[in-house]
Structures are given as C-alpha cells and as structure tokens.
C-alpha cells in the first residue's frame, strides 16, 4: 500500500495529498471503481452533488472494511444551492446519499458571482462546521478577488481551493496567493484531460525515470505541494497513478516542466460560469 503524505490544513485537519476523483464516473460504476481505489491504497475520495454518484462512493466506503475516519471524504455544494437555506438542505441530501453523518471537507463548487450568494453560502458552511457536520470548509474554482472578499466579510479563510491545474495551465499567481494566505491548492484535471500526455518534455522525463507521462505529471503536482485527485475507471491506471513514491523529479526537471505553462484553460472560467 502506498505511503501517501498528509498535509496539515490551517484549521488543523490533515488531508491526504493524493486522492481519487470521481468526476464523470457513471453512477452505476462508482461503487466498483471506488472499491478498486480503496484497495489500491487511496484514502481520499473527492465527489460532488453535481456528479450524481455520491451514493456509490458511500457504499464503497461502507463496504470496504475501513473505519469511516480512515477515509477522507470531500463533497461539494453546487451552483443552484447557493444561499443559506438551500445550502443546509444540500448538505442534508449529500449526507443522506453518502450514508454518513459528516464529511471531512465541504466545498463551494463554483463562486457564481452573478448570483452574489457565495458569501452567504460560506457563512452557512461556517455554521455547519461549528455544528460538527463538516470537519473542514473550502472552495473550488475561486479567484483571488473571491477569496479576498471572503476574508473581508467572514470569519474563516478557506482551507482549500480546488482549481483546474496541470502543466499547460499552472496558475502560478493563484498558487502564490494561496501560499500567502495559508490556503492549500488542490488540482482538478491534473493530467490536462490527457491532452498533455504526448508532450515531448514530459515524455523524455518519464523515459529517464522509467515511469509513464501520467506518473511524471502527478509527481510534479506532489512536489509543487498540490493536493491532487486524478480520476480513472481502469484498474491498471488506478493502481499506476498512485505508484509515485519511489522516485523524485530533480530541480532541473521541475524547471523544464515549469516552462510548459501556456495559460491554456480547459474547463469553464470561474468569472463567467453560470451552470444551474
């Protein structure tokens, strides 16, 4: 079983730095896929109400034989559930689907600035944390201006900001902001949706280490200090992705990878994303 390092968040909660994401895993496959991940050594599962597969995640954890406190579980409140009353009901529904009475990390999935409700939603997460139904509270896809507003108008700085991040979209300014404010950077789409696996630089580094391009990219995230949550439904890839702890990238290799940044965003822009 892989020895996955843990990162202490600013609220004292520890998060496994390497986890398993279930975005776009079909609901009917989720239980089996998460079971494979847990068997491979993953102890951090990231889901969301919007993924429509929380039930399968909960069943897999429950059937694993692991204690609930051995698995770090994240879910998220989606855009149409912003606002205090809707957020309270959204967490109730997520916990019911998961089959547990708390989650380790609850995130606001997108800021949806046009609704201007993310501050109210954040204050509701503070209440839910204080009630013991959430251990740590964070956000996803927030920009520095959104984060600064939370710091001005609420009592708590997010423990985590989960954002799109991969070698062609490295977000150095946002990562620097996170470092200055004690916010952990968590990377979604850490492999750039597969588009960067054929990159010559990544391929050459992978060859030098007798590793795959995906393993090099994931190791790069770990050495940057990111929390990373790759997704796969293939058993071999699930096991391969977590096999990262027997090699290190050199400072020269990290420099070469840093030069790959193109500012190429693959997902929606948080400033304009309006999905219901």
- Active site (catalytic) residues: 51
CB 76 within 8 A of CB 95: no
Rounded to 10 degrees, the C-alpha dihedral 139/69/50/237 comes to 100
């Amino acid at each position: 079983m892989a020895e996955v390092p843990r990162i202490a968040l600013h609220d004292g909660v520890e998060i496994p730095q390497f986890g398993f994401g279930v975005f776009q895993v079909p609901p009917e496959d989720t239980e089996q896929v998460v079971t494979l991940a847990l068997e491979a050594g993953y102890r951090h599962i990231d889901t969301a109400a919007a993924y429509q597969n929380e039930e399968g995640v909960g069943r897999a954890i429950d059937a694993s034989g692991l204690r609930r406190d051995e698995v770090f579980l994240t879910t998220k409140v989606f855009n149409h559930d912003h606002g205090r009353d809707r957020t309270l009901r959204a967490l109730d529904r997520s916990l019911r689907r998961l089959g547990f009475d708390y989650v380790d990390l609850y995130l606001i999935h997108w800021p949806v600035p046009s609704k201007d409700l993310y501050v109210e939603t954040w204050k509701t997460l503070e209440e839910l944390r204080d009630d013991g139904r959430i251990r740590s509270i964070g956000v996803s896809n927030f920009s520095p201006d959104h984060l600064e507003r939370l710091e001005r108008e609420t009592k708590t700085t997010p423990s985590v900001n989960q954002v799109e991040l991969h070698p062609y979209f490295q977000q150095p300014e946002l990562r620097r902001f996170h470092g200055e404010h004690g916010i952990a950077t968590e990377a979604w789409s850490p492999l750039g949706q597969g588009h960067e696996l054929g990159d010559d630089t990544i391929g050459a580094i992978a060859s030098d280490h007798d590793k795959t391009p995906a393993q090099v990219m994931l190791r790069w995230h770990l050495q940057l200090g990111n929390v990373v949550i790759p997704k796969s439904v293939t058993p071999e890839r699930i096991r391969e992705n977590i096999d990262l702890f027997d090699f290190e990238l050199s400072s020269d290799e990290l420099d070469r990878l840093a030069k790959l940044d193109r500012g190429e965003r693959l997902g929606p822009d948080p400033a304009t994303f309006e999905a219901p």
